[in-house]
Amino acid sequence: MKPLYYSFLFTVIAYMGVSRHAMAQSQGSIRGTVTSSDGNPASFVSVGLKEVRKGAITTEDGAYLIKGINEGTYTLRITFVGLVPQEKQITVTAGQTAEANFTLTENADQLTEVEVTGTKQTVTLGKAPIAPLDLPQMTGIVSSIVIENQQISRLGDALRNVSGVSLTQQRGGVAETFSARGYSIGIAGAGGSIFKNGVLSNTMGFPEASTLESIEVLKGSSSLLYGNVSGGLIINMVTKKPKFTSGGEVSMRVGSYNLYKPIVDVYGPLSKNLAFRVVGTYENAQSYRDVVKSNRVYVNPSLLYKLGSKTTILLQGDYLKSNLTPDNGVGSLNQNQDAVIPATIPRSRFINTLWAYNKVDQASGSINIDHAFNTNWKLTAIGAAQDTKVSAYGAGIPNNNIAANGDWNRSLSRTQTSERNYTGQLNLNGRVSTGSIEHQLLAGTDLVGIVSTSNAFTITSNGVAVPIYDKFNILDPNKYERRTDIPDANAISRTTSPSVRMGLYAQDLISLTNKLKVLAGLRWSQQKTVQTTVLNLTNQVETRGAAETKIDGAFSPKVALIYQPTRTTSLFGSYSNNFTINTGLDIYGQILKPSIVDQFEAGIKNDLFNGIISANLGVYHIVNSDFAQMAAVRLDGTPNIDANVKEFTGQTTSDGLEVDITGNLSKNVYFITGYGYNYMRYTKTSPVKGSFIEGERLINNPAHTANATLFYTFDLPRLRGLKLGASAFYTGARNGGNNNTYGQTPAFSRLIPLNGFTTLDVSAGYTYRKISLLAKLSNITNELNYLIHDRYSIMPIPPRQFITTLSYRF
């Protein structure tokens, strides 16, 4: 199929190139830049001709190009959401390029404020400043105004606003796992797919979403630019940046279950060329889950320095100290491998030890240097480091080991890990012309080093090993006396696991005509997984792990055809190849080989009514030749409870569609709607004992997801400042537990079927001058449903809750 695809594409390109050369002799072009009043580029401004339906959207560097214009005099008009349009007269001559530049009356900070009053869908994650209609990939963004209006603190709550993305697991109550297009992403690691400001990030302990500027999502394959990442999505958290105008905000958020959360955001200039920003928050809260509580401190300082007119240096850092109660959910009853949700267990029941803890200390820092050689070429260099330390202790995770009568022999698990990430990136963006054909180029390289350490412990009480801590009944906690002492946990060994991944990549967005474009790119990725070292902490003797150093490499191509019949509509079709590193070991202790994922995607994007409404639809077909999941059993045939031990479960195929319709109807009202459908199933497996059943849907993947949000702010004299909003989120039916296998004995289903559910939130607020008050009632119907927490343990979703935020802006 691929050779036919490439041959067809080459034929189209060649034909259009000849046609374009002939047309260019009788037509001209218009190019230029749009800048703010302080000289900064104004991105994503709509530029169009009033007399004909031709136009463009400025890129991130403020540039635009309109081609294929007949000779004559035209009115050039620029528009941006929330601003008064500007117009200029311009004359176009055949075979020549006219130039028209615009300067907005607003400065860069004011433009940012205008943009965040709505939900403008612009994603900057792609390393190249490609306009949304030119990007042949479905995307999503959660802006700061959405984060503020929905009073979001967790990444999972924010991503409900992105079509096709769902929160599928809450791992131990201290981390989140997300799913899109059938693929899951979790906290981090060598194949991590969660980024902060374009740099790989570990999200253990929950990132602080309330302080973010936006959250960006690229759906589908992104290996071309980011290497060994998920085939379903990558997430980029964008932190707030310094401003050269003084201001800030202080807020106090309170809510159900004794939530107290002050938030501070202060920014301004330190000198003519130096600006700062400090964002911080403290959170103290209990939970709808008994015993569970949280105590968190987060601070994010940054400095922006303008080194002349062409170079900027951005320094950013953040620190998170998190102390959370690890929560294993409510468990499930094992009835001869047929796991059952215990319906009589209340939503609040806590089954971990009363003294369990999970402490995270995380610090990161980065430097971004941007240098513009001229209006066409820019070089960006990024260096970053992150250090994450986790210390945890409590009962192990229930894994189909709770008896049908609710009895559970609790064992203990002590964790002490660290992960250090080092990142370097270099990206060169430029624009060139070859005759009448325009090129938007990207060339770059990146390098990521990760060093993980993990301690192994012996757990003893009075010098005696403690294989079983106590017996606990999840149906009747009073059935047995609950043990409350904390056994000694002594570290006996430390395993160090280094890995390095690097890539070289190039991409070209080729404008053959004003309507037909091609995006083509190629990346070479290499990952080196270094043989582990094991340090015996008793005698300080160091040995090597069983798995030897392993180097994997692959090319990741991407090619897309983009057709834009009007300046507000874009149709695209693409093929991309994803090179996905599989973390963990097989049951023999060997490092897993990578999986190769092929993706085909097509879609249509519409930017209607001068950007007031965006309507996008995409469909996809993804084939994973080797899909890796947590192994069901270990080599000795015993049940596997280690998520790091995995197996290849056969070929999977994922088909689906995504729909997004968003709008900023005015400065008073915006809405967000989205729908996603996914059908991921096994398509090639062997019908032998232990193989997964062909045609069965994979676990933790809802077939349907949907979201809708509407906010309206009144400006009538008697109601001015009043804000009303509502949000609805739907997660469809899905399966937890384990996928079934051929010949399993006894012949019970290992799946845990979960029904779909909808939660409804309503908000109301009032702003008077610089003071605002916003309140929200979430899950107003008190819907009860569950997320799967690692195979067989079930985590109830939050009940009806109240939250309110009082803010003062200065």
pLDDT score for 184: 83
Q: What type of residue sits at position 724?
A: L
User: Where does residue 173 fall: left (phi above 0), alpha (psi -120 to 50 degrees), or beta otherwise?
Assistant: left
Find the mean pLDDT for residues 165-188: 80
143, part of any domain: yes
Query: Can you tell me which residue has the tokens 């019970």?
Result: 748
CA distances from 648 to 593, 626, 635 (A): 10, 6, 14
Cα(33)–Cα(100) distance, integer angstroms? 7
The total of structural domains in the chain comes to 2
526 and 454 within one domain: yes
Q: Do residue 69 and residue 211 come from a single domain?
A: no
Based on the fold, state whether residues 785 and 653 are members of the same structural domain. Answer: yes
Dist CA 341 CA 280 (whole Å): 40
For residue 13, is pLDDT > 60?
Answer: no
pLDDT tens, residue by residue, 569-597: 999 999 998 877 676 777 877 777 777 88
Average pLDDT, the chain: 87
DSSP annotation of 691 reads S
713 and 626: one domain? yes
Q: Average pLDDT, stretch 75-97? A: 81
Give the pLDDT of residue 214.
Answer: 92
Contacts with 609 (C-beta within 8 Å, 6 or more apart), sequence order: none
Stretch 538-553: mean pLDDT, rounded? Answer: 86
| pLDDT on residue 404 | 87
For the ranges 8-22, 48-62, 138-152, 550-564, the lowest mean pLDDT is seen at 8-22
- Same-domain check for residues 70 and 206: no
Q: Are 554 and 579 in contact (CB under 8 A)?
A: yes
Tell whether 764 is covered by a domain. yes
Within a domain: 224: yes
Q: Does any domain span residue 573?
A: yes
pTM of the model: 0.84
Q: In what order do the strands lie in the sheet with 72-79?
A: 55-57, 46-49, 72-79, 86-92
User: In sequence order, what DSSP letters do the residues of 704-747 get, joined into one string?
Assistant: EEEEEEEEEE--STTTTTEEEEEEEEEE--EEEE---BTT-SS-
- Coil, strand, or helix at residue 18? helix
CA distances for 37 relative to 60, 86, 373, 489, angstroms: 16, 14, 21, 62
Does 154 lie in the same domain as 56?
no
Q: How far apart are CA 238 and CA 240, in angstroms?
A: 7
Q: Based on the domain organization, do 51 and 138 belong to the same domain?
A: no
173 and 306 together in one domain = yes
> What pLDDT, in 10s, does the model give residues 514-542?
899 999 999 998 888 898 999 999 999 99
CA-closest candidate to residue 297, choices 363, 247, 357, 354: 363
Highest mean pLDDT among 219-233, 368-382, 638-652: 368-382
DSSP letters spanning 472-510: EESS-TTSSPPP----EEEEEEEEEEEEEEEEEEEEEEE
Based on the domain organization, do 274 and 321 belong to the same domain?
A: yes
Confidence of residue 449 (pLDDT cuts 50, 70, 90): very high
What would the pLDDT profile of 457-474 be if each residue is shown by its tens digit? 999 999 899 999 999 999
Nearest to 217 by CA among 186, 201, 193: 193
Judgement on whether residues 87 and 224 belong to the same structural domain of the protein: no
Specify if 119 maps to a domain.
Answer: no
Q: Is the pLDDT reported for residue 15 higher than 50?
A: no
Residue 384 sits at φ, ψ, to 5 deg, of -150, 155
* Whole-number pLDDT of residue 193: 86
Question: What pLDDT score was predicted for residue 794?
Answer: 83
> Encoding tokens for residue 522?
């190629």
The CATH number covering residue 185 comes to 2.40.170.20
Q: Which residues pair with 278 in a beta bridge?
A: 266, 301
Same domain for 376 and 305: yes
Q: What's the 3-state SS for 432-464?
A: EEECCEEEEEEEEEEEEEEEEEEEEEEEEECCE
What is the sign of the dihedral through the CA atoms of 130, 134, 137 and 143?
A: positive
Q: pLDDT tens for residues 563-572?
A: 999 888 999 9
pLDDT of the residue at 6 = 46
Residues 577, 442 share a domain? yes
Name which of 631, 729, 769 is nearest 150 in CA terms.
Answer: 729
CB atoms within 10 A of CB 637: 8
**How would DSSP label each residue in 279-336?**
EEEEEEEE-SSTT-EEEEEEEEEEEEEEETTTEEEEEEEEEEEEEE----TT--EEET
Q: Is residue 112 part of a domain?
A: no
* Contacts for 588 with CB less than 8 Å, ≥ 6 apart: 635
Alpha-carbon distance 704 to 373, whole Å?
47
Specify the higher pLDDT residue, 642 or 662: 662
114 within some domain: no
Quick one: pLDDT at residue 225? 85
- What is the span of the domain harbouring residue 59? 2-107
| pLDDT value of residue 111 | 63
- Opening angle at CA 391, ends 390 and 394, nearest 5: 130
C-beta atoms surrounding 503 within 10 Å? 24
**Lowest mean pLDDT, pick from 46-50, 141-145, 699-703, 789-793:** 789-793
In the chain, % of residues over pLDDT 90? 54
Residue 125 lies inside a defined structural domain of this protein? no
CATH of the domain at 37: 2.60.40.1120
Q: How far apart are CA 623 and CA 644, in angstroms?
A: 23
